[in-house]
Amino acid sequence: MYQYKTNKEYRQTLRDFFKMELPNIQHLNEDIDEESLDELLYDEKAVENGLNEIYAKTKLKKAFQTLYEAAAAKMISMDHETGLAVLLSYDYFTDFVQFLNYYYENENKESLETTKEYIAIYSKIK
């Protein structure tokens, strides 16, 4: 499963999760700092596609709606897609992805709210 302890490791985790393509940048300034370089190598399209796919597969499930609302509230919002972005942020990513993977493997189960994966992410986000 995904693990990270630093921002650098988290950014690599996101690259792996969203299967980001690294662009071919030939003329980079060698004095560029690591975070600026990381921003240049960010694959916006891969992230957008990944977020859209996750949201399309989960938006009708009450458990995810509850999580999206609680997460969006952290940004003073009620927008579910904002909530999804928050759930994929540094503090919540690992727990949310564990729940997401559980859901993908067990889509036909009705009571997602009673799973240890849901309880872990819900207790953290609430």
Q: Is 76 helix (H, G, I), strand (E, B) or coil?
A: coil
Q: Where are the domains of the chain?
A: 7-125
CA distance 124 to 77: 18
Residues 47-100: pLDDT tens digits? 999 999 999 999 999 999 999 999 999 999 999 999 999 999 999 999 999 999
pTM for the structure as a whole: 0.89
Contact between 91 and 74 (Cβ < 8 Å):
no
